[in-house]
Amino acid sequence: MAAAPRHDDGGQRPPRRGRLTPLLLCLLALGLGPLAAIAAAGDAQGGPPSGGGGLITTSTTGGSLTIGTTTLIASTTTTSAAGTTTTTCNEPAVGTVTTAGSGSGQSGAGSTTGGAGSSPPGSTTGGAGSSPPGSTTSGDCTVPPPAPIPAPPGNPFTRRGMWIWELPATDGGSLSAVIAQAHRYGIGTIYLKSGDGTAVWSQFNPNLVNALHAAHLHVCAWQYVYGNEPVLEAEVGAAAVRDGADCLVIDAESEYQGKYVQAQKYVRALRARIGARFPVALAGLAYVDYHPTFPYSVFLGPGGAQYNLPQMYWQDIGTSVDAVYAHTFTFNELYQRPIYPLGQLFSAPPTAAVRRFRSVGFAYRVTGLSWWDWQSAGLRQFDAISTRTGPIRDFHADRTVASLGRGAIGDLVVLAQEHLWNTPERVTIDGGFGPETEQAVAAFQAQAGLPVSGIVTPQTWLDLLKVPLPQITWVVRHGAVVAEVRG
């Protein structure tokens, strides 16, 4: 049975870090079509002329790029009689234009450096010195980030959501077209890719966020993470929060299997930068039991994501809508995070299945759905996510959680062992359900007045999950991943 596909290249295609220039991405985000944007970028960077003047002009006084009447970087240089040269910034920047490559060793995550000195993450530097986060710099002209426009009220996860991978490939790269289509199909939250590993994607920027907020849309950033540089990946996520994201979604998949230490470093570094209460979600692989070494208990544990957006791609997994709900909820509900299913629109699933995915959600008391993804969905799929639907008559959700017994392995065993730690029968937290764990479960059941079986049954889970979790630090010792427990 195939695992769910990655949202982005996931190692199958090279990330578009150096393929689309920051300027081109910014132009596309402003609503220019791909051809016009390419022409504009060519003019601004000394490429072949786009021909004919008109829409695209290049300033001869300050080196600014103007689209219609909107100036990206505007500066005027004047020279006094005494020979003193002064540079004046005339207009605010339309958008941040930042990119970063992985492992360059030259600048921090999310910065692009064009000269001496260094710049903080989220800035673009065209010369020496540094500028405030979110500002745009060209030569001696630094423009502060735009004033934020408040987000619409409410929880973004409860609104109908649509995911965007590449903005230039979505509705021709026209932000106005994206907004119009969102309004037409009742989409309230847009999930836009903001980073890949240690690279910031410049399509996510404060001006785009402001435009979506002005259109009464929530905008959530999502980043694909690998676990190779977890602290830098956390900085990439934090940069999107500084750019005005209403929530941050962690897209962690197979690359993070076995990386408990890295997952904890990422979570702690992220929370140190964005605070404990900012809304974060995990969009992970839906079938927990198929990925036993994935650190769900870290990403969805204390200090981690408050929300769970499992990738419930029924057609790609090779199952039915009903089965993907039952299997996903059987395992994911044990992490005690609100579940907002992520449904499938790629590969042209039947519209009847898309509508059923919505209807089955009522039985599972789901209060919000989102869909992967905009650029691969046809109009029939857009119709299917927006046409009126309701609960299925006489359909009953399967809310039975998974049982664990001797021989079980994986992250749910880790979760059970963590809760057992604060009972009289402590066990080693190693993800393996052996005789020691079986005896501890039996002792817990006897103390709680439950039938003694040594199996973590659904009733046992109800009582066990009430036991507070210990403080755990994951470390590597002698080549093995080990849980160090305090208290």
Residue 257's CB: how many other CB atoms inside 10 A?
Answer: 16
Q: What is the spatial order of strands in the sheet that 124-125 belongs to?
A: 112-113, 124-125, 136-138, 141-143
- C-alpha distances (whole Å) from 313 to each of 13, 215, 246, 310 are 21, 30, 25, 9
For residue 161, give the DSSP letter: E
Q: Is 224 helix (H, G, I), strand (E, B) or coil?
A: strand
Cα separation, 48 vs 82, in Å, equals 38
Question: What is the longest distance spanned by two Cα atoms in the chain?
Answer: 94
Q: Which residue has the higher pLDDT, 47 or 323?
A: 323
Q: Flag whether pLDDT at 22 surpasses 80.
A: no
Confidence of residue 147 (pLDDT cuts 50, 70, 90): confident
Confidence of residue 148 (pLDDT cuts 50, 70, 90): confident
Average pLDDT on 344-371 reads 97
Name which of 451, 461, 410 is nearest 433 in CA terms: 410
For residue 133, give the DSSP letter: T
DSSP string, 61-87: SS--EEETTEESS-EEEEE-TT--EEE
Answer yes or no: are the C-beta atoms of 283 and 250 closer than 8 Å: yes
Q: Which residue has the higher pLDDT, 18 or 323?
A: 323
Cα separation, 16 vs 277, in Å, equals 32
Cα separation, 392 vs 411, in Å, equals 33
Q: Is 483 helix (H, G, I), strand (E, B) or coil?
A: strand
Q: Is 175 helix (H, G, I), strand (E, B) or coil?
A: helix
Cβ-proximal residues to 38 (8 Å cutoff; 6+ apart), any chain: 24
Name which of 239, 240, 244, 234 is nearest 211 in CA terms: 244
CATH architecture of 411-486: Orthogonal Bundle (1.10)
Locate CATH 1.10.101.10 in the chain.
411-486
Q: Report the amino acid identity of residue 154.
A: G
Q: Chain-wide mean pLDDT for the chain?
A: 79
Q: Flag whether pLDDT at 276 surpasses 70.
A: yes
Name which of 439, 428, 449, 452 is nearest 406 in CA terms: 439
What's 156-386's CATH class? alpha beta
Q: Is 484 helix (H, G, I), strand (E, B) or coil?
A: strand
Per-residue pLDDT at 486: 82
Residue 10 CA, chain-centre distance (Å), reads 14
Q: Flag whether pLDDT at 20 surpasses 80.
A: no
Q: What percent of the chain has pLDDT over 70?
A: 70
Q: Is 173 left (phi over 0), alpha (psi -120 to 50) or beta?
A: left
Q: Flag whether pLDDT at 160 surpasses 60.
A: yes
Per-residue pLDDT at 210: 96
pLDDT in tens, 395-448: 999 999 999 999 999 999 999 999 999 999 899 999 999 999 999 999 999 999
Locate CATH 3.20.20.80 in the chain.
156-386
Cα separation, 194 vs 246, in Å, equals 13
Q: What value, to the nearest 5°, has the Cα angle with vertex 223 and ends 218 and 226?
A: 165
Residue 374's CB: how many other CB atoms inside 10 A?
Answer: 25
pLDDT in tens, 304-325: 999 999 999 999 999 999 999 9
Per-residue pLDDT at 227: 98
Q: What value, to the nearest 5°, has the Cα angle with vertex 308 and ends 393 and 178?
A: 85
Q: Flag whether pLDDT at 49 surpasses 50.
A: no
Confidence of residue 5 (pLDDT cuts 50, 70, 90): very low
Per-residue pLDDT at 123: 33
Weakest mean pLDDT among 148-157, 243-252, 323-332, 354-363: 148-157
pLDDT in tens, 197-249: 999 999 999 999 999 999 999 999 999 999 999 999 999 999 999 999 999 99
